[in-house]
Amino acid sequence: MLIKILLLEDDLLFAETLSDLLEENGYEVVHAPNGQKALDLLYGKKFDIYLLDINVPLINGITLLQELRDADDNTPTVFLTSHKDKEMLKEGFLSGADDYITKPFDSDELLLRLHSIVRRIKKDVVESVGLLMHDATHKRIFYDTHELELSKKEYQLLVLLMHHADNLVPKELIMEELWSAGESGSEGAIRVYINRIKQLLPQIKIENIRGLGYKLVS
């Protein structure tokens, strides 16, 4: 599972140095030079960790995090700050930060703090079937570290199959899980989703138990 970090930092040279350090240690880093750019990036991409400078243009790090927390975004967040003022740090934690590190900092210290967060993130990967991993917190499924591009229904179906790996999942249960009472589902739609998953994952085996349902073979 490749950990993706959003780095908010307006010092471009420092951001480049920090990105190189993190990428050398196995992280994927996307850099935003200001708070508005960071917000724009969040509309199209999911991240596992936010690494936010506080004093940045347009939207500062604290305001950005407050907006994200208000939108129920609980992504672990570390503030990078040159502030030593206790009130500023208090405000940062009240906005929903998980940790902070004061500039200048030791590279090893930052990596250790991030490693601690990664351990917590991996605990949220509640399920794995072979090379399939389910990140329930961010509603993502990975195969051999690669995130799968799934529709909502495809995601729900694959999670259900993973929950019951090596066991029959009755079509009635699939209908209940994928469609609410006000929606109309069909066995034909289930077959379409199954075929789509098989196209994405030719390496895995999903058996069609005729007339009964489906089974993911681990």
Question: What is the SS3 assignment for 6-54?
Answer: EEECCCHHHHHHHHHHHHHCCCEEEEECCHHHHHHHHHHCCCCEEEEEC
Residues 6+ apart with CB under 8 A from 157: 174, 177, 178, 190, 193, 194, 197
For residues 15 and 82, membership in a common domain is answered with yes
Lowest mean pLDDT among 120-124, 161-165, 172-176: 120-124
For residues 108 and 204, membership in a common domain is answered with no
Q: Which residue has the higher pLDDT, 20 or 183?
A: 20
Residue type, 131: L
For residues 144 and 116, membership in a common domain is answered with no
Chain centroid to Cα 152, Å, comes to 15
pLDDT (tens digit per residue) in 24-59: 998 999 999 999 999 999 987 889 899 999 889 999
What total number of domains does the chain contain?
2
- pTM here is 0.60
The pLDDT confidence band at residue 146, using thresholds 50, 70 and 90, is confident
Q: In this predicted structure, what is the pLDDT of residue 86?
A: 63
Rounded to 5 degrees, what angle do the CA atoms 212, 213, 217 make?
A: 130
Q: What is the DSSP string of 97-156?
A: -SEEEESS--HHHHHHHHHHHHHHHHHT--EEETTEEEETTTTEEEETTEEP---HHHHH
Domain boundary residue among 90, 123, 156?
A: 123
pLDDT (tens digit per residue) in 174-205: 998 888 767 778 899 999 999 999 999 998 99
Q: Which residue has the higher pLDDT, 144 or 193?
A: 193
DSSP state of 159: H
For residues 115 and 138, membership in a common domain is answered with no
Residues 152-157: what's their mean pLDDT?
Answer: 93
Range of the domain at 34: 4-123
The CATH number given to whatever domain includes residue 73 is 3.40.50.2300
For residues 9 and 108, membership in a common domain is answered with yes
For residues 49 and 108, membership in a common domain is answered with yes
For residues 111 and 133, membership in a common domain is answered with no
The pLDDT confidence band at residue 122, using thresholds 50, 70 and 90, is low
Rounded to 5 degrees, what angle do the CA atoms 37, 35, 88 make?
A: 165
Domain boundary residue among 80, 96, 123?
A: 123
The CATH number given to whatever domain includes residue 210 is 1.10.10.10
For residues 166 and 206, membership in a common domain is answered with yes
> Is the CB of residue 49 less than 8 Å from the CB of residue 28?
no
Domain boundary residue among 123, 141, 161?
A: 123
